[in-house]
Each structure stands twice: as C-alpha cells, then as structure tokens.
Amino acid sequence: MLAFCRGDVVHFLLVKRDDTGAIHVTKQKQLHLHYDLINFTWINSRTAVLLDSVEKLHVIDRQTQEELETIEIPEVQLVYNSSHFKSLATGGNVSEALALVGEKACYQSISSCGGQIFYLGTKSVHVMTLRSWRERIDHLLKQERLTDALALAWSFYEGKAKAVVGLSGDTSKRKAVIADRMVEILLHYADRTLKKCPDQGKIQVMEQHFQDVVPVIVDYCLLLQRTDLLFNQIYDKMSENSVAKGIFLECLEPYILSDKLMGMTAQVMKDLLLHFQDKNRLENMEACIVHMDITSLDIQQVVLLCWENHLYDAMIYVYNSGMNDFISPMEKLFKVIAPPLNAGKSLTGTVLLPLKDCCLAGRAYPLGDIPEDLVPLVKNQIFEFLIRLHSTEGSVDEEVYPHIRTLLHFDTREFLNVLALTFEDFKNDKQAVEYQQRIVDILLKVMVENSDFTPSQVGCLFTFLARQLAKPNNTLFVNRTLFDQVLEFLCSPDDDSRHSERQQVLLELLQAGGIVQFEESRLIQMAEKAEFYQICEFMYERELRYDKIIDCYLRDPVRKEEVFNYIHNILSMPGYSAEEKQAVWKKALEHIEELLLLSPCKAADLVAIHFTEQIESIIANLQDQFLLFQFLRSLLDPREGINQDLLHLPPHITEQFIELLCQHSPDHVLETLKVLEYCRLEETIQITQKHQLHEASSYLLEKKGDIHGAFRVMLEVQYSGILNVAVLSEVLSALWFPLLEAMMSPQKLSALKSLTMQVLNNMAAFIALPSILQRILQDPVYGKGKLGEIQGLVLGMLDTFNYEQTLLETTTNLLNHDLHWSLCNLRASVTRGLTPKQDYCCICLQQYKRRQESADEIIVFSCGHLYHSLCLLSKECGAVSKDVMRWMCYKCNSSNKGGKLSENFSELKKGSGTSLAQTGSESALDPQQIQAFDQLCRLNRGTSRVRTACYPVSFKLGKGTMQAARQDVRADSTGFGFAVGFHSVLAL
C-alpha cells in the first residue's frame, strides 16, 4: 500500500509486483481533507496518521477512510526547519519562498518504526502507538464509560472495529476471549449500578437510574447468549434491591414477546408473574405466558393464576402445550359462558377461536401448531365434545346438546363459519363426513324446535345449510320441508317485529343458493304478502322482469329514492334487450305522476333525458297545478347534464310556467326572465301585467325596445325603481327630464333629495348643464322665488361640473404629453441613417459599385440588406402600383414567410406589403408607405402606443456623394394626425 498527497487529496494505492518485477496499481482510493496536511505516516498496514498545520494528529482507517480519532499535540513542541531549508552552510541565504516552506517543514522530525511513530520535540522525544484492544477497553473503563466500553467490546466481537491491535487466532478463539472480557464488564457494571444507586427514598429517581442501566445489561447478556449469567449471578445481584428487581423483570417483556427469550429459570418466571399480578398488568402477563417455553413454567402456579384472573388464552395454552389436553379448557370455558347466556345476557370474547384453530389445519391456540401425530386425535375429540348429549357436570334439567346450544347463543354466525371452514377441510375424511351430518341434524333439532332463537339466527343456519347443499361434492341431507317451515317463519305476516332483519336473512339465504329449495311462484307470493320488496326484486331480476322491479322500489319506503337511478341505468346501460328497455320505459311513464310526487327535480331529469317527446302529454295529464309548477321549474332550470336545446319546448309551455311562477313565486319572476329563453315577449308581458308585476313588465318592455313604455310602468311604482330604470335607459335623453320632474315634486322633495341628486349626477353625463338649469328655472314652482329649496341640488351639480372639468384637463395634458413623447421617439427612429450590413447585393452577391447599368438602382432596407433593383425585380420583389414602384426585402420575407414570395408579391401588388420603398422625391407617402410606417410604429419599444417600424430607401448610383430621396411620413396615433419630413443620409 502506497500513499501520496496532492493538494487537499490523499491517494491510497494498492500495488502488486508481477513476475517480471514490474509494479502495477490494482486499486486506488482518495481521501479528501478539510485541513492543511504537513505530514503523512503509516503506523501499520491498515492505519495512517496525518499531521495538519495546527499540530493535530488525525488517525485514519485506510479501508473505510474513516477518521478514528483526533489528538492535539502542541505540548510536543515539534521541531521544524531542517538545515536544508535554513541553509546554514551558506549563512542562511535562502529565498523568501523557501524560508516560508521551511516554517512548516518537519521531514526529519517524524519517523515510524515497528508500529510506533516518533515525534522530535525541542526538549523531548514523544512516541505515539496504537493501544491494544484491551487497553482501549480499559481506557474507557477508567473513565467510567461502561456503556461505551461494552459497545467497543461488542464491535471487537462482531469484527467491525477499526485499528484493532492485539487480537490473534481464529474467529472462535477471538470471540471467546472478548466474551470473557464482556462478562467481567457486565458483572462490574451490575455491582457499580447498585453502589451508585441514588437516595433510597426517592422511588422515581431510583427507577429512572435502573431504567437507564439494567436494559443495557440484559441486552448484552442476550446478545452473548449468556442467559445463565443473566438469570443467576446478575439476577441475584439485582434482587438485592426491590426497585432494580422490578425494572429487571419488566425489561424481559419485549424480548419474550419478540421470541428472543423463550425460556428462563422457574424462579425468575415465578417472580415475573407475581410482579405483573402485583402491578395489575394481567394482559402483559398473559401475553408473556403464551410466548414462553412450557418447560420453564410452573404449570400449577400458572393455571391458578389464569383462573383467578380470567386469563383464558394463557390457560388454554398451558393445557394444550403442557398436557396435550384440548378438551378440559373447553369444558371450563363453557362452564363460564353458559350461565350468563342462559340468563339472556350477551357476551363477547374469543371462545370460538380455540375451537376454530383446533378444528381446522391443526393449529394450536393462540400460537404455534399442534404436533402432526395429534391432529386427527384432536379433531375427533373436538367433534365428540360438541355432539355430547349432556355435559359432564350438567344438572337434571339441562337441555340436550348444551355445547352446541351454548355456541349458537354465544355467536351464531361465527360458529357456523367455523363449521363451514371445518367441513371444507375435512371433505376427504369419511369419519368427518359422518360428524358433519350428525352436527347438521343437531343444529336443526336445536334451532328449529326451539323458540329461543331470533329470525336472524335461524336464517344464518339455513344460509349455512344452503351453501353446503349447493356444493358439487355435497354429502349432506336436509329435509326440504324444513326450508318451507323457515320460509313460513320468516314471511309470517302476523309478526311485524324485525321486518328488515327477516328480509335480509331470507335474501342472504336465496343468494347463497337456497332458492333451489323453494317453489319460486310461492316464494314471490309470500314475499309480496310480507312486503319483502328486496326479495321480490331478486326474483323479478332472475326472471328478467325489470319493469316489475319499478313497483318494488315505489312500494318500498326505504328505497323509494333509488327508483330514478334504476330506471336511468336500465334505459341507458348496455346489456338489456330492446323489449326489456321498452317495458321499463312504459312502466316509468305510467308512474310519472308518482315519480313527480316523490322528487320533482329527479323526475324532471329523467323526463329531460328519456321522455322528451312526451313532455306535452305529461303536462296535459297533470291535474295538480302546484305539482305542474314544480315539474316545469325543475325542467327549465339550467343545470349540468341537461341540454336545454335538445328539449325543443314550445313557447306556450314556457309561458305556462311563467304564469304558474307568477302565482306561486312572484318574487322570482324577474330573475327567471333574465335567464329564461323560448318565450314570446308580447304574451309574457300580458302575463306579468295581469299579475301586476311591474318590474318584470318594465324589464320585458325594455327588452322589447319600448323604453318609454317601461318608463311609464316604473313611474307607477316606488322611486327606487324609477331610478333603476333610468340608469338602464341612460342612453335616451328624452327620459331624463320627465324623471327629474317626478323627483323634484315639492311635496316629495325632502324625502327624495338623495335620489334626486343621483338622478342629476347621472343626467349631467348626457345632458348639457345649462339645459338642466334652464329646465329647473322654467318650472312655475321654482320660478317664483323658491330656488332656496333646490340650492343644495344646484351646488352639487356645480361641484360635479368642476370635478369633471378638472378631470378632463388632466386627461388632456396626459394625452398631449404622451403624444409629444411618441412623436419625438418616432422622429428619432425614422431620421436615423441606414448602414448596409455588407457592400454587395444579397441576391447576386456582387458589389454594387461594379454594376453600371443606367436603369439600375440600389435599394437599401432598414434591416440592413442591400439589393440591385434589377435583382429584386428578378425575384419578383418589386411591382408598380399606381405609377409608383414598390419594393419588398427578398431575404427577410423568404426567411420569415417560409419562402412564400409569390404570396407576398401578390399582396405587394394589392398594396398590403409590409416593407415598401419608392424612388423619386414625392412630397407625400402613398398608402403602402403609410402601412409600412404603421409597422414601424408597432415595432418601436416605448411606453407610448406609437412605434417606429422598418422601411426601405432607394437611390441611384452617381458620381461623388449619394443621397436618398426625401420622404414625408404620415401616421395616425390615438386619433391625432401628424406629419414629419426627413432625409436619410446613407453611410456607405
């Protein structure tokens, strides 16, 4: 292994010499430093020591590049500056750079040999070496860092420690040596824990002290698999302190529950159970028992504890695992649950779970498996137990089959589920088949001949039987007359109690396959008589009589609202024949009034989707006017999912709805008219006038165009309404003066002063102020010296006038400023000289000076492209329009327009080109140039809306200077016209 440093990176190289003696690098690693390195030394093949510029030693593990330790050594007073750097032989005459390097040069001050590093100080020599593994542990122990010492020792044990010195031999020997050392530390840790215990009187402080320490001891003992050490020496030490003993026992619980600790000494187990009992933590105690090895338990003690504290799971576990007895715990459980059940009380619990696990795949309860050789025996014992005629200690008046009876009363459905799973598991067992038939016979005898069971429980039984009989390999026999008795029992019309329960039970029975046990016609008859509409639906659906199901929904008070979804699904979804859909459609149409009574909104949705052509007949047949009103309101209400255009409602239906709306909800007429369509204005106006709904009439008259009529109507109602109509009709000046006269009546002036002021403010926007004042003064009432009554109104009008005058002046000034800025910007843009990008034609690529044709001209565009006029003509980029030559940049238009010059040329001929030029010295621009100038205005950037644009300039070749033709530019911006004259001097 080699190493070298470059900058702040140390490179580790693993080298190998081949047969020829050449050295090859087989592996390379890099270590990035965050400090200035001045020395690098190997202490062994796996560990390097680095010295930085502030005299800190960094111990580095070569394999992981992890920094194991950092040590400061300023007390060494390391010697720097060798004679080579000081140049003593030459009198110290060295350069500043070399002297600066020498300040930290320590090449001869550090040396390594035999796993040691020697550091030369000014007064002494210091030796650095790696501690052995024992010394490292002892160093932590001296500092009383016992937890860290155990963690370090465990890292040695696992082989994960770094820079390990002193461990030799194979892995097992090394682990044995380390384990012995850890045992010593653990015993020392236990002694120190007891000695360092806080004040004996502070229980909470003592508990916290032991909670911090004892789990560490338990954890490492279990990691080392030294339960003998844990439950003998260490437990004996902890037992000296009652608090430590309790904490120790509680620390065992998580290991027991996770099956990391399966066994312990009998004394520790006894103490553990008593501790949980004293703390009243019975659930924790039971959970620990069922995870323990039975050989470590005192069976007598555990059984007594379980019975005293009703820990039935633990009791069953002890009997099953310890004594292979699966019947005794069942008998004991039945003695517990039978009396309350016989007294009519309900119980909850897991009494069926042990039966379930034992009867199925040979599982033990609550954990584990039954030994395979015992599985058949256990199954037979359980079945014999269930079918006993009497219990072992039953009284004289005990009913027959008490165990099955008790389980049925405890949880009928769950017990039958257990039996169903058991029957499925034993389908290939002949003896089990005999047990099945025997149990079924007992179930029928117990439940059918006894009135103690509810309809739900009886239904569960026959549902269970129906499922068993429906299996293809069924071997059970059940008398069919029993099913008829159950049907009579469930459909009894004399018993109204548990109606929904009876129906649900019968439905489950039919769905489980029990329908084959009944005559279908009789079943439907009895279901209808018992008002079991879900049963009727089930039967009608089997017969594909979907129209009859509508009656079932309408008669069922619980599911009436579902009829709409049912009808919509049948008529909309695929999978139904045309005849079936037609039957449902007719049935729904027959019951349409009943559907409307049920929900007008949902019925209207149904009609709008499936009965659009029958709307008029439905309306004609409805006698109840209020119901008709609700139907029409729902039908005409615009909502998602309903396309009003597809309804094709004639106007008279809409007008009929408005008539009903005026009768039943007049307050909503106006807002309805604003959104309603398909109604005739004349007829609707007559309806609203008939019911004296003035606002609605005024709205319709205004919509019709009769503004004067709308105004006359509103004069008849309150003045607030007058004002609203006036605002709506503000474009008609003729209405303002009648409105003002109505508002300024002397007898109403004081009450309507604020409304009159609003009228005047709105009126002033359309009528000249002198006209308003003249009309006021012409009034005979105010023309005789009563102007004081309207003084406030006049002053308010003057204030409004002053405000608007100021606003107008400010706006004009802003607009003028904007226009001036735009004109300045525009003039600066269009008077700027044009400089071509090159001195050759962009088409023929020849310099323009070499062409001497008399008819040739040079065309320069503001984009910088230069052409000969003849070249542009050859590319169809020039045309004569109204005796004026117009040009278009060939290069720009071919790139921007995708090469469509023919189209641009046609536009050029029509006068719609975007970049035009003209020759000569006309004093005004033609429309094409104006359009080009508009483009210039749009492209110019600035805050104003006036922009500058790109334009062309043409000139003829001459001797001496060259000057472009003068052009006058006109443009239009924000409604103001302007003209600018300019000359463009070309710098060529």
Residue whose structure tokens are 């430590």: 244
Alpha-carbon dihedral angle through residues 87, 91, 93, 98, given to the nearest 10 degrees: 20
Q: What is the chain's length?
A: 988
For the stretch 342-380, pLDDT in tens is 555 454 455 556 655 555 556 677 777 777 778 778 878
Q: Tell me what pLDDT residue 915 has.
A: 38
Which is more confidently placed, 741 or 336? 336
Q: For 585-612, what is the mean pLDDT?
A: 90
Token duo for residue 235: 């437990």
Contact between 322 and 298 under an 8 Å Cβ cutoff? The reply is no
For the stretch 487-503, pLDDT in tens is 877 787 666 667 887 78
For the four alpha carbons of 232, 234, 239 and 243, in that order, the dihedral sign comes to negative
Beta partners for residue 25, in sequence order: 15
Confidence check: pLDDT of 586 > 90: yes
Report how far residue 238's alpha carbon sits from residue 246's, in angstroms, rounded to the nearest whole number: 9
Q: For 232-248, what is the mean pLDDT?
A: 90
Beta partners for residue 57, in sequence order: 51, 71
Q: Which of 243-252, 274-283, 752-761, 949-958 has the least mean pLDDT?
A: 949-958
Contact between 619 and 627 under an 8 Å Cβ cutoff? The reply is no
Confidence check: pLDDT of 638 > 50: yes
Q: Which amino acid is at 910?
A: K
Q: Tell me what pLDDT residue 584 has.
A: 93
Q: Tell me what pLDDT residue 351 has.
A: 53
Q: Tell me what pLDDT residue 471 has.
A: 76
Token duo for residue 598: 């049920």
Confidence check: pLDDT of 720 > 50: no
Which is more confidently placed, 772 or 73? 73
Q: Tell me what pLDDT residue 962 has.
A: 36
For the stretch 34-54, pLDDT in tens is 777 777 788 777 788 888 878
Q: Helices H, strands E: what count in the chain?
A: 46, 17
Confidence check: pLDDT of 970 > 50: no
- Would you call the peptide bond into 366 cis, given omega within 30 degrees of 0 as the criterion? yes
Q: Tell me what pLDDT residue 353 has.
A: 60
Tell me, rounded to whole angstroms, the distance of Cα 813 from its chain centroid.
56
Token duo for residue 462: 């026959």
Q: Following DSSP, what letter does each residue of 843-857 receive, concatenated?
A: TT--BGGG---TT-E
Confidence check: pLDDT of 485 > 70: yes
Q: For 128-145, what is the mean pLDDT?
A: 86
Q: Tell me what pLDDT residue 388 has.
A: 86
- DSSP 8-state code for residue 238: H
Q: For 934-960, what is the mean pLDDT?
A: 44
Q: Which of 570-574, 623-627, 697-701 has the least mean pLDDT?
A: 697-701
Q: Which residues have a Cβ under 8 Å from the Cβ of 372 and sit 6 or more positions away?
A: 362
Q: What is the mean pLDDT of the chain?
A: 76
- Helix, strand, or coil (residue 32): strand
Most confident of 430-439, 567-576, 665-674: 567-576
Contact between 198 and 209 under an 8 Å Cβ cutoff? The reply is yes
Confidence check: pLDDT of 33 > 80: no
Report how far residue 696's alpha carbon sits from residue 691's, in angstroms, rounded to the nearest whole number: 10
Q: Tell me what pLDDT residue 949 has.
A: 34
Token duo for residue 81: 């500056």
- Annotate 923-970 with three-state secondary structure: CCCCHHHHHHHHHHHHHCCCCCCCCCCCCEEEEECCCCCCCCCCEEEE
| pTM across the whole model | 0.47
Q: For 14-41, what is the mean pLDDT?
A: 71
Q: Which amino acid is at 740?
A: L
Contact between 329 and 351 under an 8 Å Cβ cutoff? The reply is no
Report how far residue 257's alpha carbon sits from residue 482's, in angstroms, rounded to the nearest whole number: 50
Q: Tell me what pLDDT residue 28 has.
A: 66
Which is more confidently placed, 202 or 673? 673
Could you give the C-alpha distances from 65 to 4, 14, 55, 167, in angstroms and in order? 14, 14, 20, 22
Contact between 719 and 754 under an 8 Å Cβ cutoff? The reply is no
